[in-house]
Amino acid sequence: MTTTKGLEGIVATTSSVSSIIDGVLTYRGYNIDDLAEHASFEETVYLLWYGKLPTEKELAEFKGKLSSQYAVPSEVMDMLKQYPLNDIHPMAGVRTAVSSLGLYDEKADDMSEEANLNKSISLLAKLSTIVAAFSRLRDGKEIIEPKENLSYAGNFLYMLNGNEPDEISEKAINKALVLHADHELNASTFTARVCVATLSDLYSGVTAAIGALKGPLHGGANERVMKMLSEIGEVENTESYLKDALERKEKVMGFGHRVYKDGDPRAKHLREMSKQLTGITGETKWYEMSLKLDELMTNQKGLLPNVDFYSASVYHSLGIKHDLFTPIFAMSRVSGWLAHILEQYDNNRLIRPRAEYIGPPKQEFIPIEKR
């Protein structure tokens, strides 16, 4: 057996959901650049789940189904209110709440294609409600019910803040959701597929994926990027901060990616959005610091920014609390997880790799009285 640490370069399955070929990311064959510029998040989800872009009628029907599923069971909301909201990371609350949803779905163990698609729509809708509710409850605010006439992105901002978002804010969240929707066989997606390959239910697969996304080397990276920018404070401190960090051999978050050698194709879209939003808020320093770090890391280390890097200043400029960055990632990536879960169910085989044993070769058992 040949061991590859972190399974780097190992092809573990076939998939038609998304691809990364020669540094180009596609969803079902559509270039991420085209989708980021022209598609709504709802169109993107439809593409991931049904394998094609929707017609106007299909999209309207899909949006209608989403709108009907935003409400979270009162039992789950009551449990959410009992969480130690100010003492836990939102991802821990989201993980537990999503797991709880399965307790109140009588179709949770129905493995038919129709039932799993209906559960997928329900989970996508309810996840945004849960994230917004968590944020408002810990701030001592009332939960806000969704509005039927708003987009997925717009509804989230409305449920979070209590005001219908302006066009640029809604566009920013929509674009971020599209860009984060899927990314081939990343850590959380692989986790989801391993889980449901045992023929466990869809809620278990998504809960497992959320647990994987919670880690700072995956979904938590953009939160740590914003922490870094806050520590830098001002543009003129950027170079000295980076110099000290590199001398201490600290990991600079938001740079490099295992599958991209020439840069993450998603980063440029969020870079432009960061420039726009920081200009509107008058806090251009967040964009300027990011751009300076980008230039220094590229020149000094040959590392280019990934999707997490500029998303941090985008979310910050929208007034979103830093520890909500990863839950918003989950709101998007659940669409990709569900696409892969449905694909796994459709052509399933238990995922069971091997491990190379490196312990002692052969030991003689000694009875306990002689040890």
pLDDT for 256 equals 81
Which residue stretches of 102-166 are H helix? 113-138, 152-161
Per residue in 148-191, pLDDT tens? 889 999 999 999 999 999 999 999 999 999 999 999 999 999 99
Nearest in space to 255 (alpha carbons), one of 186, 312, 187, 305: 305
pLDDT for 281 equals 95
Evaluate if residue 29 carries a pLDDT over 90. Answer: yes
**Beta carbons of 335 and 45 less than 8 angstroms apart:** yes
Per residue in 259-294, pLDDT tens? 787 889 999 999 999 999 999 999 999 999 999 999
pLDDT for 183 equals 95
Residues 286, 306: Cα–Cα separation, whole Å:
16
Show which residues are catalytic: 257, 308
Evaluate if residue 78 carries a pLDDT over 80. Answer: yes
Give the 3-state DSSP-derived string for 15-50, with helices as H, strands as E and coil as C.
CCCEEEECCEEEECCEEHHHHHHHCCHHHHHHHHHH
The strand order across the sheet containing 24-27 reads 18-21, 24-27, 30-31
Evaluate if residue 48 carries a pLDDT over 90. Answer: yes
Domains, in order of start, for the chain: 18-214+333-346 (1.10.580.10), 221-317 (1.10.230.10)
Per residue in 302-323, pLDDT tens? 999 988 899 999 999 999 999 9
Phi then psi dihedrals of residue 9, to 5 deg: 80, -5
Phi then psi dihedrals of residue 306, to 5 deg: -105, -175
**Beta carbons of 30 and 356 less than 8 angstroms apart:** no
- For residue 25, list its beta bridge partners: 20
pLDDT for 191 equals 98
Contacts of 283 (CB under 8 A, 6+ apart): 317
DSSP state at residue 305: B
Q: Residue 221 — pLDDT band, cuts 50, 70, 90?
A: confident
Evaluate if residue 82 carries a pLDDT over 80. Answer: yes
